[in-house]
Amino acid sequence: DSGVTQTPKHLITATGQRVTLRCSPRSGDLSVYWYQQSLDQGLQFLIQYYNGEERAKGNILERFSAQQFPDLHSELNLSSLELGDSALYFCASSVDGTPPDEQFFGPGTRLTVL
Amino acid sequence: AQTVTQSQPEMSVQEAETVTLSCTYDTSESDYYLFWYKQPPSRQMILVIRQEAYKQQNATENRFSVNFQKAAKSFSLKISDSQLGDAAMYFCASIIQGAQKLVFGQGTRLTINP
């Protein structure tokens, strides 16, 4: 158990819908990262937050957005969902968000878009 | 740009034997870090071993060791005395100093034959 929690574990929804994935970092970690793991794209970095502020952006679609709240939990919002958004979404956290900080991964949320 | 390549989609080894997983990377940066992550069927991403680029000595963690060839930009993982619990997807990843995102390879699926 990494100490990072993600809810829900599984999510099944339809095209065009909007979902919210939630992540709680390890106690004491200020930085949260979101990654997407899909069959065709592999593991890709989406976005990083540090202490409530966006720090880095990767291959995140405009239909996707995220935020980190004052209690440091983070939410990833996915809207206008398409079949290709079906993937495993990981949240990771680290102490201060700067290498060589280790990123601890949560168990992931499996999103299925039908 | 930062890239990581794993050329072996699948590998198999007999229990108690030794196996080596290959990884090559490309970066123009001089300060970076390399990692091997394990993803068992549970889908949890688990850090196996890490290597700082500035360190010449190869990292070792119990039965896991790396062969870091900086000039060749190669970073292979050796698993000694393979156990059934080692069966998983293994991902090589890199991160450069000052950046926030882990860049992953495509993964190698390791099967342990009893």
Size of interface A-B (CB pairs under 8 A): 57
Please calculate the CA angle B93-B39-B103 and round it to the nearest 5 degrees. Answer: 20
pLDDT attached to residue A31:
94
pLDDT attached to residue B97:
80
Angstrom distance (rounded) from CA B28 to CA B9: 26
- Which of B13-17, B92-96, B107-111 shows the lowest mean pLDDT across its residues? B92-96
Give, for B103, the enclosing helix (H) or strand (E): strand B103-104
Q: What mean pLDDT comes out for the span B20-48?
A: 94
Per-residue pLDDT tens over the stretch A58-105: 989 999 999 999 999 999 999 999 999 999 999 999 998 777 788 999
Angstrom distance (rounded) from CA A47 to CA A22: 14
Reported as a pLDDT band with limits 50, 70 and 90, residue A110 is very high
Per-residue pLDDT tens over the stretch A4-38: 999 999 999 999 999 999 999 999 999 999 999 99
Beta-carbon count within 10 A of A37 CB: 21
Residues in Cβ contact with B73 at an 8 Å cutoff, skipping those fewer than 6 apart: B24, B25, B26, B27
pLDDT attached to residue A85:
96
| Helix ranges (DSSP H) in chain A | none
pLDDT attached to residue B50:
95
Identify the closest residue of chain B to A42 by CA–CA distance.
B106
pLDDT attached to residue B30:
87
Smallest Cβ–Cβ distance between A99 and the set B43, B97, B104 belongs to: B97
B85 CB near a chain A CB, below 8 Å? no
pLDDT attached to residue B14:
97
pLDDT attached to residue A1:
83
Q: What mean pLDDT comes out for the span B29-46?
A: 93
Q: Phi, psi at residue B59, to the nearest 5°?
A: -75, 150
Q: What mean pLDDT comes out for the span B4-24?
A: 97
Q: Quick check: A100 and B33 CB within 8 A?
A: yes
Instruction: Give the CA count within 13 Å in the CB-facing half-sphere of A14.
Output: 0
Q: Is B92 helix (H, G, I), strand (E, B) or coil?
A: strand
Per-residue pLDDT tens over the stretch B42-81: 999 999 999 999 998 999 999 999 999 999 999 999 999 9
Angstrom distance (rounded) from CA A110 to CA A93: 18
Q: Quick check: B33 and A92 CB within 8 A?
A: no
User: Which of B25, B30, B40, B21 lies closest to B104, judged by CA?
Assistant: B25
Angstrom distance (rounded) from CA B10 to CA B15: 16
Angstrom distance (rounded) from CA A110 to CA A8: 8
